[in-house]
Amino acid sequence: MFDLPELVVLARQMNESLKGKTIRRGQLGDSPHKFVWYNRTHEEFEELTAGKRVGEARPKGRFIFLSLEPGYTLLLGECGGKVLLHPPGSKLPKKVHLYLHFEDDAFFTVTTQLWGAMELYEAGEEQNRDYVKGMKTTPVEPEFTFDYFSALIDSLLGEKKRSVKALLTQDQLIPGLGNAIAQDIMFRARLHPRHPITDLGTDQRRTLYDATLDTISAIIDQGGRYDEVDLYGNPGGYVRLMDKEAVKRPCPECGGEVKKIQYLGGSCYVCNTCQL
Ligand SMILES: [Zn+2]
């Protein structure tokens, strides 16, 4: 599953390499895939994309918004898998869920692993889509300040008991963070996934805020996580601190044992000495 840092990397690369290209032919999936959310028929998609020019790609939360000019926005998101640019003359992957063939004979494909959105909107209409409309501030935007983060925690204190992991990964409170990235944020912040947010003092909030931004920028700087590939098919360089491999090694901080626990619909990897 792509999280916000991978989408930031992909969007940057799309702006480097796709922007300005003209679409000769756009097609939706060549194999039916009940988990791919299309909002156009094959015919509509082909008709509406033909001759459009690729504009700016913008990442937000779990989505990329790709402008197809004039007048349309292609929304890609909530997916894992491969988003690839193929140079002219390349062989197409066998299974693709979206395909744009450009005038220069390069082509762009999206193939998702499980599910995903591949929707074409009249520009502006995408802002009314579920999970886009009302999306909270994401951690790569300048508005995501410490004051914003702290006020977000304050706004949650009156409700049901919420843990640090729930703050990071549930209800899209911080859009674009998934379980895998949350593990490293919590380790950097020295907080246990079950730690209740009600007793986070200012220093712990600051540490958690810094850990969130540091983790995201480390992943972006290294071109994504090592088990995802970028627009050119190259794997990222970011190796997670806390994942299934971490239980085989000592804790990088204290040398103690890293334990795997199941919590809130996903595996967590925790050092009980370092993370309280
Ligand atoms: Zn430790």
Q: Return per-residue pLDDT of the chain as tens, 276 residues.
A: 788 999 999 999 999 999 999 999 999 986 555 688 889 999 999 999 999 999 999 999 999 999 999 999 999 988 788 999 999 988 888 888 999 999 999 999 999 887 888 999 999 999 999 899 999 999 999 999 999 999 999 999 987 789 999 999 998 999 999 899 999 999 999 999 999 999 999 999 999 999 999 999 999 999 999 888 999 999 999 999 999 988 889 999 999 999 999 999 889 999 999 999
How far away, in angstroms, is 241 Cα from ligand 1 center?
11
How many A from CA of 223 to the centre of ligand 1?
27
Provide the pLDDT for residue 4: 93
Distance 116 CA to ligand 1 centre (A): 36
Cβ–Cβ under 8 Å, residues 232 and 253:
no
Q: How far, in Å, from the CA of 264 to the mean position of ligand 1?
A: 22
Q: Measure CA 132 to chain center.
A: 14
pLDDT number for residue 242: 92
Per-residue CA distances from 215 to 87, 106, 128, 211, 229 (Å): 32, 34, 30, 6, 18
Q: Kindly give the distance from the C-alpha atom of residue 165 to the centroid of ligand 1, in angstroms, as a whole number.
A: 18
Find the 247 Cα to ligand 1 centroid distance in Å: 12
Please give the DSSP secondary-structure letter assigned to residue 200. Answer: -
Whole-number Å distance, alpha carbon 236 to ligand 1 midpoint, is 26
Radius of gyration of the CA atoms of the chain, in A:
20
Give strand ranges (E) for the chain: 23-28, 36-38, 53-60, 63-69, 72-77, 81-86, 98-102, 107-112, 116-122, 258-262, 267-271
* Sequence letter at residue 24: R
Kindly give the distance from the C-alpha atom of residue 258 to the centroid of ligand 1, in angstroms, as a whole number: 7
pLDDT at 35: 81
What 3-state DSSP class applies to 39? coil
Residue 40 has φ and ψ, to the nearest 5°, of -130, 155
pLDDT number for residue 30:
66
Helix ranges (H only) for the chain are 4-17, 42-49, 146-156, 164-169, 179-188, 202-221
- Report CA(274)–ligand 1 centroid distance (Å): 4
Q: Looking at residue 63, what is its pLDDT? A: 94
Helix axes 179-188, 202-221, angle to 10 degrees: 130
How far does residue 190's CA lie from ligand 1's centre (Å)?
9
For residue 218, report the distance from its CA to the centre of ligand 1, in Å.
Answer: 21
Question: How confident is the model at residue 266, as a pLDDT?
Answer: 87
What pLDDT was estimated at residue 200?
94
Q: How far is the CA of 187 from the centre of ligand 1 (A)?
A: 9
204 Cα–ligand 1 center, Å: 17
164 alpha carbon – ligand 1 mean position (Å): 18
pLDDT at 262: 94
Give the model's pLDDT for residue 176: 93
List the structure tokens of 4: 């916000």
* Spacing, Cα 217 to ligand 1 middle (Å): 23
- pLDDT in the model for residue 116: 86
DSSP state of 224: S
CB 168 within 8 A of CB 174: yes
C-alpha angle 243-258-274 in degrees, rounded to nearest 5: 110
For residues 208 and 196, the answer to whether their CB atoms sit within 8 Å is no
Ligand 1 centroid–CA 240 distance in Å is 15
Whole-number Å distance, alpha carbon 250 to ligand 1 midpoint, is: 8
First to last CA, the chain: 28
Name the β-bridge partners of 81: 112
Distance of CA 208 to the CA centre of its chain: 20
How far does the centroid of ligand 1 lie from the alpha carbon of residue 266, in Å?
21
Rounded to whole angstroms, how far apart are CA atoms 53 and 191?
Answer: 47
Q: Are 208 and 139 contacting, i.e. CB atoms less than 8 angstroms apart? A: no
Output the pTM of the full model: 0.92
